[in-house]
């Protein structure tokens, strides 16, 4: 499925819709915050060791 097909298909939610739905659920919100923090920490650690 190409990006054009995805845009024209109402059954396939966009990433922003998925994120908005997940953010409205408190359990998912905590997981999203944790995942975001973990990603930031990993990127900072990789940059720190790369330099």
DSSP-derived secondary structure for 16-48: HHHHHHHHHSHHHHHHHHHHHHHHHHHHHHHHH
pLDDT at 25 (0 to 100): 78
Q: What pLDDT band is residue 9 in, cutting at 50, 70 and 90?
A: low
Instruction: Please give the C-alpha separations between residue 3 and each of 6, 13, 17, in angstroms, as whole numbers.
Output: 5, 12, 16
CA 20: distance to chain centroid?
Answer: 10
pLDDT at 19 (0 to 100): 78
pTM of the model: 0.51
**What's the whole-number mean pLDDT along residues 9-36?**
81
pLDDT at 45 (0 to 100): 96
pLDDT at 10 (0 to 100): 67
Q: Greater confidence, 3 or 44?
A: 44
Q: Where are the chain's structural domains?
A: 15-50
């Amino acid at each position: 499925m190409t990006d054009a097909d995805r845009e024209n298909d109402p059954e396939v939610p966009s990433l922003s819709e998925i994120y908005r739905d997940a953010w409205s659920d408190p359990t998912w919100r905590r997981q999203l915050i944790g995942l975001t923090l973990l990603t930031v920490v990993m990127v900072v650690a990789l940059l720190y060791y790369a330099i």
